[in-house]
Structure 1
Amino acid sequence: MLLPYYQDVFVEAGCDEAGRGCLAGPVFAAAVILPRDFSHNILTDSKQLKAEERDELRVFIENNALAWAVAEVDHEEIDRINILNASFLAMHKALDSLSIRPEHVLVDGNRFKKYCELPHTCVVKGDGKYFSIAAASILAKTYRDEFMQRIAGLHPEYEWHSNKGYPTIKHRNAVLKHGFSPYHRKTFRVTDPQLDLFQPSNADVELV
């Protein structure tokens, strides 16, 4: 794991999202500004860690970051503006909420909508390369999982307590059997649950 690109020169915020590929629930995003000398032995892409490790890292990040913020965009807004735009909006909302204004934004992925004229750098699989993005991925993932856990009891047939809204075969079968819940993204297609062909119908619509 390397340190962020320019943290020795600029105040840099790492950004990442969680829940982009889900059938249900909001998309969450986080922005994190770390100290220049920040280091951690196991901090990496949240998907590579156990839930217990993510929970421990969340506390560590919140206690040791110079600034951090988490934001969400709900399923209705996702349906209205599409998931790509909603992911960018969630990141912008998180950046808006930082107690320190960054001078550079480091973003996981290959696309980003410019934020307040600040320079930004997109890094594919950046959550496995840079501490600030990894920290943002931990916060976005844990806060979203916590939200899905809270609403899982309202609609137990979808098993959100375990799949957190992601399109597992059981989840897609439940949608085909019971229909959409009030938390489902209506513009997302549920394909043959025996085929791994889930695709958001609007996931790659460009910003205008």
Structure 2
Amino acid sequence: MPYEAPTHSVERSLRATTGAKVVAGIDEVGRGAWAGPVSVCAAVTGLRRPPEGLTDSKLLTPKRRVALVVELERWVTAHSLGHASPEEIDELGMTAALRLAAGRALDGLPVRPDWVILDGNHDYLGAPWNVRTVIKGDQSCVSVAAASVLAKVARDRLMAELGAQHEDFAFAANAGYPSPAHKTALAERGPTPYHRLSWSYLDAMPQWRHLKKVRAGTDGSPAPIEGQLGFDF
């Protein structure tokens, strides 16, 4: 499928208008999964020509993503991964969990970025970071596209490792998203220790509904549960 290759346009603009020397691209994966962490990668790429075929991870085949990661790990100036666990997602909600995972990724970089390019139109990161949001940044910005591929492959590998302990759930194939095999195993066996127990899928399973966790709002009332229907394989 044809696509327009990402460029350094936003990275160059931030350098020119703000004096930024280090710009990091950020992307996440796992927001809409039923099991596993939400994972964020922060990537600093400089302005060198990227590996051929770099784009949003969702536009690449699994085989191409894995091959591209080998090139990216040698090519990027620096990158770091941050995760928020299912328990943290249940306790904090998805927006705060994303902020936590992104902060961990940024803190893991060897140098603090002057500016961060965040995929999407919502700044879930906030102060003290300088953030530029870019809709479809994973397709248009080199650093965000690199972060997208690195995050996706890292999380897929993690879910495959978890899946070895729970083969019926087919985590190696579905990465914790609601595939038919996942739904069937969940209905028959109930949630694993890696499932998000605040997600609404439990409402449709009377036999496991008692396990659902409700995150309390600041006023003591149940808070809305976020992000449970995404399918960003």
Does the pair score TM above 0.5? yes
Alignment of 1:76-91 (within 5 A): 76-91=87-102
TM-score in terms of structure 1 length? 0.87
**Contact 1:44 / 1:127 at 8 angstroms: preserved in 2?**
yes
> What one-letter code is carried by the residue in structure 1 that aligns with 2:77?
L
The residue aligned with 1:98 is 109
Deviation track 1:66-115 (CA, whole Å, cap 9, x = no partner) reads 11101111111111101222122111110111112211100112212345
The correspondence for 1:123, drawn from 120, 127, 134, is 134
RMSD: 1.8
Q: For this pair of structures, how many residues does the alignment match?
A: 197
The residue aligned with 2:118 is 107
TM-score in terms of structure 2 length? 0.79
Moved over 6 A (4+): none
Helix, strand or coil for the counterpart of 1:5?
Answer: helix
User: How far apart, CA to CA, are the structure 1 residues paired with 2:62 and 2:184?
Assistant: 25
Q: Which runs of 5+ in 2 are unaligned?
A: 1-5, 206-223, 228-233
Alignment pair present for 1:17 and 2:40: no
TM-fit CA distance, 1:118:
2.9
User: How far apart, CA to CA, are the structure 2 residues paired with 1:4 and 1:80?
Assistant: 38
User: How far apart, CA to CA, are the structure 1 residues paired with 2:81 and 2:67?
Assistant: 17
Q: Could you tell me the percent identity over the aligned residues?
A: 35
The correspondence for 2:193, drawn from 179, 182, 185, is 182
Q: Which runs of 5+ in 1 are unaligned?
A: 194-200
TM-fit CA distance, 1:185:
0.4
The correspondence for 1:169, drawn from 180, 193, 212, is 180
Deviation track 1:42-67 (CA, whole Å, cap 9, x = no partner) reads 00000111122111221222111111
CA pair 21-114 structure 1, distance change in 2 beyond 3 A: closer
The residue aligned with 1:6 is 11
